[in-house]
Amino acid sequence: MLTPEQIQGYLQKYGDSLFPCAMSEYLAHTNRVIWGLLIDSDERRFHRLFGEIALADLEQFNSSFHDTIAGYRVRARDFFPNLTADADVFLISKQCLDFPPSEVEALIIHELCHWYIDSGLQSSHPITINAKDRIKAKSLHRKTDQSLENITKHTRQFCELLKK
Ligand SMILES: [Zn+2]
């Protein structure tokens, strides 16, 4: 079973190594912190996974519980203006902790691609997408549920990053 420290470790490792702008630089520049939430589908609650999350902040997140496998929210204050800190939030379901590490790593990389686009970094510090990537991305994008694209944000651009 993966520990919160291992999850945070993967996030830092891939966030710092796979993108032209490292996650630690982004956090330093924006003066933002990153919080990890554990999604508990049975209790229908979020629990703290990592980071200094005040109880009041956790309560705000729990006021709109959302059950999913994993997620990444840039600037959580856009959704919860009363949070005590300017935080990005990484979410992962409790059941994922029992997945093989390679699957969890793939899941984390997927969420980091959302981070990179949603934070605006793909516009300011773009990952170069070549013709081959575009072809692979096009076929991946065709397999996604495009009718839900404004919810999943699995856009063509997202697929390009993921296939890189
Ligand atoms: Zn996604």
Same domain? 122 vs 136: no
> What is the mean pLDDT of the segment spanning 62-68?
94
Instruction: List the strands of the sheet with 45-50, edge to edge.
Output: 45-50, 33-40, 87-93, 70-73
Same domain? 114 vs 143: no
Task: Compute, in angstroms, the gap from residue 44 CA to the centroid of ligand 1.
Answer: 21
* Per-residue pLDDT tens digits for 5-53: 999 999 999 999 999 999 999 999 999 999 999 999 999 999 999 999 9
Task: Compute, in angstroms, the gap from residue 17 CA to the centroid of ligand 1.
Answer: 20
| φ, ψ for residue 157, nearest 5 deg | -60, -40
Same domain? 99 vs 136: no
Binned at pLDDT 50, 70 and 90, residue 146 comes out as confident
Nearest of 69, 61, 64 to residue 35 by alpha carbon:
61
Q: For position 80, what pLDDT does the model report?
A: 96
Same domain? 144 vs 91: no
- DSSP β-bridge partners for residue 71: 91
Same domain? 33 vs 12: yes
Burial category of 143 from C-beta neighbours within 10 Å (exposed 0-12, middle 13-18, buried 19 and up): exposed
Task: Compute, in angstroms, the gap from residue 153 CA to the centroid of ligand 1.
Answer: 6
Same domain? 20 vs 100: yes
Same domain? 164 vs 150: yes
Q: Which residue range is the domain that position 15 belongs to?
A: 4-126
pTM of the entire structure? 0.94
Number of domains in the chain: 2
Q: For position 150, what pLDDT does the model report?
A: 86
